[in-house]
Structure 1
């Protein structure tokens, strides 16, 4: 269940339930001792090099995160150390506004002085220092993007863009407003300043829509999280104006604009661009640099984009490049061993992606890496790593992988010498067991899916339809993973989840397209790379999951596959000759690929046409039997509480199922998870908590028009709610029933 952290009651419930010293005792003990050490330090101690070395480099407030900056030159200067020591001992002004201005001035002065020792600013370290000196006002979230995401979650996006220092003070002030002032002891201050980080880790990071490039743990320890080569973007797209164009577009969308407004802005910037080129440019901002996002028709900055504009520091984008752009990690690792000529780096990149047959794409990548201060040219026509580049090269903890060998077009009548997939060699009992063990899925459902997928020699296509939250996508994933393991291959490389988006009117989101800005470049999609890999390994199974496939019309974006799976014809990818930018013109339909689509039927989705249904094996997911749910005892509810909850949910299922208004396993899980948390709260009662979660998770789906069957469903629902004394939920259903009688229709939201 998603918690609304902008709501005072919900945020207070979250933070009061946290026990930081139980959560990470070692870190908090060290932090409390360190805060006490800083508090006791006099002016001479604070100005000493040993103290400042500890303050800047071995500070337990947080890890330095990714992109650490060397500040040794500043620490070696007694003038800098003395100034900072004196500043840290000055009394704080009274009043929130005066304190904010004082902290902002101190922050800016530290940054200004650090710039005299180097061209990069140790932003994370600066905030660790401020938090050590002023733990009542600064949290342990010293990494800029995470602080911004936490601030957005706590205050919403309508509060403007206050900047790094005001964000810190706002987070800590909100905690003081909810919990009262923290005691003036190092332990209490350590506990208070870690609360934002723990809330971020538990409730913000898990639902963030930002692209994930790092994994993080308590104390802000970060590690890059690379994508496999097949799932990476194939190089950078060259943008006229480079970084200036990025800044210009980000400045324009600060307050939020429509897609057409942004296109009009870009049209004014580039009057010679065609509309298709402008749309591609917008897509580059969104899907290559991840600096803008589109939500409910409004384009705004992502957290990364906001920080990039705010700091004019590219460090926030570099993890994206290293983990999501093919070839960047190869270049950085190659330069760790010494300087390389431009020709050597271009040859390396062509080996990484055999589809790059010209120097255009590798050359554009090297230019971007220079722009982002990762490498620099020398007078002898070689490239070397900058200090920034050396640091980031050191963060690459994996061996960079190239794309696998490309599939080349074959003659229509050329027989394949590769072995075909032998689906009959499976241990079916083990396969079905692997799919169903520990789940609510029945063996019959898993068997149906397997047989339906492979009954035809080529048309391996199933549609899982029915109740939202009934586990359709999970069943597809578990089946794909179990199938891969049966063949001894990696599930990560053989199961691909494609989230279908609204507004797909052609196959290009699935199979890529020729870039209108770079006519010699084919923009390859991750699914295309997946299918090419499948064609290279015809004896191995590959599973594609089209999640929520009817958010757009499948007969439009999926048309080439629907046609080829029926006729056996080759998939046509483009019309530019046998091979274009390493992509074959056609691809033999891969009979070792199974497609599984999941669909929900509601007002946000499209109907499924006969053209699609005629080619698919369809399974429906409407029947929910709570006896099949395997995780009742995962939560800390007592047996009598579980019995009451099960009886209530069973009753609601039976009452609502006749109108298909009932709920799936996701809702059951959310109900139990909510109760597990709610019943830990002081003075909590099962009936009240159950009433709250039924109201919030089950009733919002109630809607419909006048019918005797719907009236019966509402009557039976009210009986169940009355039986379990869920008064608030019963009153809501009564109001829905009144609406139905008076107007002939009803819905939860009105």
Structure 2
């Protein structure tokens, strides 16, 4: 529908006529008129005895003839059985029908409402305000519109230019009076024309006031009149709910300041007055949450004002005013509600369920915040760390008519972690026995059991300092050993990767900020976080589980520089300092005690691009060196698509080369074996390069470039044996290169592949 000014008489009249001609005539709305009219007549003509019966009362309270499906879903059986309430309703109906004075009718309704509403509220788990409006609309025809939801009625009244102060019930009469002004009064409210007039406000709200492209979380089917939730796709949703202390009461106290509108700056000062210890950046984050996560504030340039949702929530505090927004706009809310539809969930299972909705939630903080709000919003109860839906929760679950979906990809930014409590050193860390740990290793990487046992003993020989350095042959599987060990420590957890963080160390890390982050020098209230910082906070928050930090190629920079705070704290058990402020900055505490459940494994390659390890590092680490690998034990042989004869030839050649190169420590690891086999498989698939030529290429490109050294009897022996091995294998190109390098060694005293 076109945007009209409903305050203008002519435009309002045109809107009403358009609705009557184009919308009211739809089959769904005609059925609504019929049902509404039937109930009005039924209530008018019912006998006193039938009216008081339990069956009639139950039908009266549960009928949706007045308002669309989705409004007022509360178990009302106890109210229907209460004869005193039924008699009060009968008296209201009778007196209203006998009174023609509008002011007297208003007094009748006010008195009846004041008497009945408390009695009804005392018999239900939730105040059935929407059902009350529907019942009163049938008892007092012409006094109420078909909009039972007060927020939506306020939005329509605002669009019509009507005053919004006074009792909620008065808005119904004001809206109907405004329509009477432009359309004239209806002679018989029980006629189809009369019922259509009562329905007109709802159709006007749906077609002219509700904005489907903006705040609307519900849409009305023009054919059936049913009102259904309108979810956003997961990619467009807000990523979680900000944790705010104090629950919904705090939200109300925050937004109360914006009742008459205010500037951003004034609102931030108000937030700081509520929580004086909060930084400006924290208050800005809270303001953004009130706008995007709660939908209770609207920003217009530098000014803020309450949305209709915000006005309604401020007035009533009813969670239903915001739950529709969260179900349709916040990632994970519908996902967890749907998961709780048929079963209860432990708190841990609920967290893991939410993390499926967003793979970017690699910590428990964001899911825990959502679960906390579920409790504040009366969607769940939590008893002994188990979540169960409340009656309100079940009613909202029943309105989820779609299959909730999560994000398909991992966002680049992980949610913030809250400040955590200090770790107690006497907490027992859960870790499997060595035999079970070895059994869970990936069979693709067959590490000797003694090597795994050596790593395990080296890491856990100290109560707090769990630090090992893996050094030796490049490509021998040092990083894979560390990775498999870390995952096996979490073998009984459904998300074992949570306990592992692999960080590729970069050249030029000269201080700890590369690992732990730093306070933004341009904005002192902002902290530049790192994955390691969040990992440390997570480890500190979950002290019974081991968390493994793998520093890959840790000596590309000086470890004693970038690891300095951790090296010191792991020795003394004192605090790891993140910044010098008293309070947290941007969610980062000043520091945490060194987590005794933190495992650090560094991998080291020694060549001209790396640095040696200082005594400060070596004194704290268990150094494990492995230079030897068993060529025949390489699991890639079984997975290769090469023919058996070709595999045997390559395996024997690589074993011979290993024996030749090992004395000079010029041999190779499993990575090289994998690359050689991969190259041969690709050339075989291509069908252009003959197998023996391809094998020659592979040896030339993967084995020979690492040959280098100064003249010595050992190196001379290597080249002599290597020449013989390549000659026997018929690898001409590689043989010529080795002869050239041997000549260089003899004439210049040194040799290298690159000339």
TM-score, structure 1 normalization: 0.52
Paired position in structure 2 for 1:171:
175
Paired position in structure 1 for 2:347:
342
Residue 337 of structure 1 deviates from its aligned partner by 2.7
Distance in structure 1 (CA, Å) of the matches to 2:367 and 2:83: 46
Paired position in structure 1 for 2:67:
62
CA contact (8 A) 2:217 2:328 kept: no
Paired position in structure 2 for 1:123:
129
Total equivalences in the alignment: 418
Distance in structure 1 (CA, Å) of the matches to 2:223 and 2:168: 21
Q: 1:267 to 1:520 in 2, by over 3 A?
A: farther
Distance in structure 2 (CA, Å) of the matches to 1:227 and 1:515: 33
CA contact (8 A) 2:218 2:227 kept: no
What secondary structure is seen at the aligned counterpart in 2 of 1:223?
strand
Residue 120 of structure 1 deviates from its aligned partner by 0.7
Residue 247 of structure 1 deviates from its aligned partner by 0.8
Q: 1:520 to 1:76 in 2, by over 3 A?
A: farther
Residue of 29, 32, 37 corresponding to 1:27: 32
Residue 21 of structure 1 deviates from its aligned partner by 5.6
CA contact (8 A) 1:277 1:516 kept: no
CA contact (8 A) 2:52 2:86 kept: yes
Q: 1:515 to 1:226 in 2, by over 3 A?
A: farther
Distance in structure 2 (CA, Å) of the matches to 1:57 and 1:113: 17
What secondary structure is seen at the aligned counterpart in 1 of 2:387?
strand
Distance in structure 2 (CA, Å) of the matches to 1:83 and 1:517: 62
Paired position in structure 1 for 2:728:
none
Distance in structure 2 (CA, Å) of the matches to 1:352 and 1:520: 23
Distance in structure 2 (CA, Å) of the matches to 1:94 and 1:520: 73
Distance in structure 2 (CA, Å) of the matches to 1:190 and 1:160: 25
Residue of 306, 317, 325 corresponding to 2:322: 317
Q: 1:246 to 1:206 in 2, by over 3 A?
A: closer
Q: Deviations over 1:415-455 (max 9, x none)?
A: xxxxxxxxxxxxxxxxxxxxxxxxxxxxxxxxxxxxxxxxx
Residue of 61, 82, 90 corresponding to 2:87: 82
Give 1:133-144 correspondences, 5 Å limit: 133-144=139-150
Q: 1:363 to 1:199 in 2, by over 3 A?
A: same
Unaligned runs of 5+ residues in structure 1 are 410-512, 523-575, 577-750
CA contact (8 A) 1:66 1:223 kept: no
CA contact (8 A) 2:360 2:412 kept: no
Distance in structure 1 (CA, Å) of the matches to 2:347 and 2:189: 58
CA RMSD of aligned residues (A): 3.1
Give 1:578-727 correspondences, 5 Å limit: none
Distance in structure 1 (CA, Å) of the matches to 2:17 and 2:527: 53
Residue 520 of structure 1 deviates from its aligned partner by 8.6
Matched, 1:49 2:54: yes
Paired position in structure 1 for 2:184:
180
Give 1:514-529 correspondences, 5 Å limit: none
Q: 1:82 to 1:373 in 2, by over 3 A?
A: same
Distance in structure 2 (CA, Å) of the matches to 1:298 and 1:96: 41
Distance in structure 2 (CA, Å) of the matches to 1:146 and 1:152: 10
Q: 1:407 to 1:517 in 2, by over 3 A?
A: closer
Paired position in structure 2 for 1:12:
13
Distance in structure 2 (CA, Å) of the matches to 1:93 and 1:264: 53
Residue 237 of structure 1 deviates from its aligned partner by 0.3
CA contact (8 A) 2:217 2:231 kept: no
Give 1:198-213 correspondences, 5 Å limit: 198-206=203-211, 209-213=214-218
Matched, 1:366 2:362: no
Residue 283 of structure 1 deviates from its aligned partner by 1.1
Residue of 268, 275, 278 corresponding to 1:270: 275
Q: 1:100 to 1:259 in 2, by over 3 A?
A: farther
Distance in structure 1 (CA, Å) of the matches to 2:256 and 2:107: 25
CA contact (8 A) 1:224 1:395 kept: yes
Unaligned runs of 5+ residues in structure 2 are 414-522, 533-587, 589-755
Residue of 382, 407, 410 corresponding to 1:403: 407
Residue 251 of structure 1 deviates from its aligned partner by 2.0
Q: 1:348 to 1:140 in 2, by over 3 A?
A: same
Distance in structure 2 (CA, Å) of the matches to 1:518 and 1:386: 40
Residue of 383, 388, 395 corresponding to 2:392: 388
Q: Deviations over 1:166-217 (max 9, x none)?
A: 2111101112222332112511320211111222222222478534354554
Residue 222 of structure 1 deviates from its aligned partner by 1.6
Distance in structure 1 (CA, Å) of the matches to 2:409 and 2:301: 41
Q: 1:189 to 1:518 in 2, by over 3 A?
A: farther
CA contact (8 A) 2:241 2:330 kept: yes
CA contact (8 A) 1:61 1:140 kept: yes
Q: 1:21 to 1:42 in 2, by over 3 A?
A: farther
What secondary structure is seen at the aligned counterpart in 2 of 1:89?
helix
CA contact (8 A) 1:43 1:89 kept: no
Distance in structure 2 (CA, Å) of the matches to 1:129 and 1:218: 25
What secondary structure is seen at the aligned counterpart in 2 of 1:396?
coil
Q: Deviations over 1:69-105 (max 9, x none)?
A: 1111110222222222222222476765554444334
Q: 1:138 to 1:185 in 2, by over 3 A?
A: closer
What secondary structure is seen at the aligned counterpart in 1 of 2:25?
helix
What secondary structure is seen at the aligned counterpart in 2 of 1:90?
helix
Distance in structure 2 (CA, Å) of the matches to 1:407 and 1:374: 28
What secondary structure is seen at the aligned counterpart in 2 of 1:22?
coil
CA contact (8 A) 2:92 2:108 kept: no
Distance in structure 2 (CA, Å) of the matches to 1:189 and 1:57: 23
Distance in structure 1 (CA, Å) of the matches to 2:176 and 2:531: 49
What secondary structure is seen at the aligned counterpart in 1 of 2:298?
strand
Distance in structure 2 (CA, Å) of the matches to 1:74 and 1:12: 41
Distance in structure 2 (CA, Å) of the matches to 1:184 and 1:127: 21
CA contact (8 A) 2:85 2:116 kept: no
Residue 362 of structure 1 deviates from its aligned partner by 1.2
Residue of 141, 155, 160 corresponding to 1:154: 160
Q: 1:14 to 1:215 in 2, by over 3 A?
A: closer
Paired position in structure 2 for 1:225:
230
